[in-house]
Structure 1
Amino acid sequence: MAGSKALPTFCFLLCAASCALAAASYDYMILSLIWPGTRCQPGWNGKPTCCVDPLIDNPELDFLVETMETYDSATGKLVAKCEPSCRFLINPLADLMDDLYAYWPSLSCPAQNGKQVWKDAWCTYGNCTSLSEVNYFGRALQLRARADVLHALGSKAIIPSETKSYSLDDIEDALVSKIGFSAVVECTTEMGVLSGKYLLSRIRICVSADGKSLITCPFSRKSNCGRKVKFYPFTENMLGRPRHPAADHIELPSDKAMAQ
């Protein structure tokens, strides 16, 4: 008799656990854009910390896609690695390759062609979505262009500079003016524990579950930057190789153009 009375309770608990697991699915994403001027600062020995495959053109001198993560708005927690036996196919991305090389490259050393970066993004986050590979990567690239962070900052006279520092409030206001929603500004600290300088390293923007829209973040997220932020330029010598001749059309907009 005791066993029969315990069974309904056990079943209820099992159902509750199953329902909790089922609820832990993504319903929004965060697009993470890195600023290579900070990511590629030379190491203490002066050697490049970023490398690009010599067979591929240099990435654009712009904010680059790092990844697009999946989140659960009920908990605010990351949803990742939903399919342990993930399968990544490069062929469906053929029409996106030029844009992937330009805006979602591998910057790690030794140089890679980018395939591992895209595979990691897809198998960690992309396959948690209802999107195809083409839509996951294509929509991330489209949203990066729509946010147009570099121009948003430049329109408020926030230009990459070796010498200037900018107010975190001004950076955040410039992003709201362009995107329509607040974005999270992340920083790293300049080499040397006593420098106390914050370098703009990453912009994180919330995205709808279908990857089509920029949205207000369901959870409040705060910047880790100080009140003043450095925004170092990104130059080609940071990539550890000469500029590819085919990429000569790529140039950073002038201060005048950025301020328009």
Structure 2
Amino acid sequence: MDFLTFMSVFLLLISTSCYGLSENHHGDEEGGLLVVAPAKQQKEFDYFLLALLWPGTLCQGTNHCCSANACCRSNATSMFTIHGLWVNYNDGTWPACCNNGSNFDIKKITPLLGGLQIYWPSLSCNLESTCDGGKGLFWAHEWEKHGTCATPVIWDEYTYFLTTLNIYFKYNITKILIEEGYIPSNSEKYPLGGIVSAIQNAVRATPLLVCSDGAVQELRLCFCKNFEPQDCPNNVTPEEACPRYVSLPEYVPRITGIN
């Protein structure tokens, strides 16, 4: 896709109306609270959710390494990485696997692979489930399950990944937090309210944070269909809820069991 084509896509996005969130919406399936809408009932989604992972927390549970697992990189930095760009309904469900004919093809995103490997890496050695019942790359899972349901805003695989990267860079959460003094540390605890306020001031919308044992594990940003930020609902499970003071653990490379 050339620059003019890409810009025309974003002009289309800007013309799309923004939908509000219902109070009982729980995000995406990763939180274990939503039910997938049956295929025959799948309709156009209501809003986007960009899910970001904090490797410093997730990689602490790594006990096996492989070349595909970014937790095992010796030169990785402490920054949020992309989990996925998801599409959700306001009623507490979400569409999934909307077009079985749009199977993931890595050749279609060749120009983006350098950035994807750094900013959207897999943090596991396990292959992910795909819509045809098989197993594939982390990117294949995200495109087939979520990206294929992003029409009419996003129509193809390349645009899905390019759009996600652009949003990630535009709202650079790691940079926002560091500039406000929230630096990755294995000893410091930070006020949750301060982190939320820093992001609210920069993004002009309220994020949703998910924690594990008091450490930030995931951060979610919600967007209208024109990619204007909107508040995310505060509805994590008690197990995922963050305490008043949270940590942002430094990334420590895992080198055990590499193959």
Give 1:129's aligned residue.
150
For 1:41-56, list aligned pairs within 5 A.
41-42=60-61, 47=63, 51-53=66-68
Q: Contact (CA 8 Å) 2:97, 2:145: kept in 1 or not?
A: yes
Give 2:84's aligned residue.
67
Stretches of structure 1 lacking an aligned partner (at least 5 in a row): 1-19, 190-197, 243-260
SS of the equivalent of 1:40 reads: helix
For 1:100-139, list aligned pairs within 5 A.
100-109=116-125, 116-130=137-151, 131=154, 132-139=156-163
Q: In structure 1, what is the Cα distance between the partners aligned to 2:223 and 2:163? A: 10
Aligned length: 204
Which amino acid is 1:154 matched to? I
Matched-pair identity in %: 25
Q: In structure 1, what is the Cα distance between the partners aligned to 2:125 and 2:77? A: 18
State the Cα distance separating 1:76 from its structure 2 match. 3.7
Which amino acid is 1:126 matched to? G
Change (3 A) 1:148 1:241: farther
Q: In structure 1, what is the Cα distance between the partners aligned to 2:201 and 2:255? A: 32
Q: Contact (CA 8 Å) 1:160, 1:233: kept in 2 or not?
A: yes
Change (3 A) 1:202 1:60: same
Give 1:229's aligned residue.
246
1:87-125 C-alpha deviation (Å, 9 max, x unpaired): 22211201111010011111212699xx61111011101
Q: Which stretch shifts more, 177-186 or 31-40?
A: 177-186
Which amino acid is 1:123 matched to? E
1:165 to 2:185 alignment: no
SS of the equivalent of 1:29 reads: strand
Give 1:151's aligned residue.
175
State the Cα distance separating 1:53 from its structure 2 match. 3.2
Answer 1 or 2: higher relative contact order, Cα 8 Å, separation at least 6.
2
1:49-100 C-alpha deviation (Å, 9 max, x unpaired): x64439x976554210011111123x14222122245422211201111010
Give 2:41's aligned residue.
21
Structure 1 residue ranges, 4+ long, deviating more than 2 angstroms after superposition: 50-54, 56-61, 83-86, 109-112, 207-210, 219-223, 237-242
Change (3 A) 1:59 1:141: farther
RMSD, matched Cα: 3.0
TM-score under structure 2 length normalisation: 0.69
Q: Contact (CA 8 Å) 2:127, 2:137: kept in 1 or not?
A: no
Q: In structure 2, what is the Cα distance between the partners aligned to 1:178 and 1:154? A: 12
Q: In structure 2, what is the Cα distance between the partners aligned to 1:77 and 1:53? A: 31
State the Cα distance separating 1:240 from its structure 2 match. 5.1
Q: Contact (CA 8 Å) 1:42, 1:238: kept in 2 or not?
A: no
State the Cα distance separating 1:145 from its structure 2 match. 1.0
Which amino acid is 2:246 matched to? V
State the Cα distance separating 1:207 from its structure 2 match. 2.3
Which amino acid is 1:96 matched to? L
Stretches of structure 2 lacking an aligned partner (at least 5 in a row): 1-39, 129-135
Q: Contact (CA 8 Å) 1:59, 1:101: kept in 2 or not?
A: no
Change (3 A) 1:90 1:60: farther
State the Cα distance separating 1:138 from its structure 2 match. 0.7
* Residue among 221, 229, 249 paired with 1:215: 229
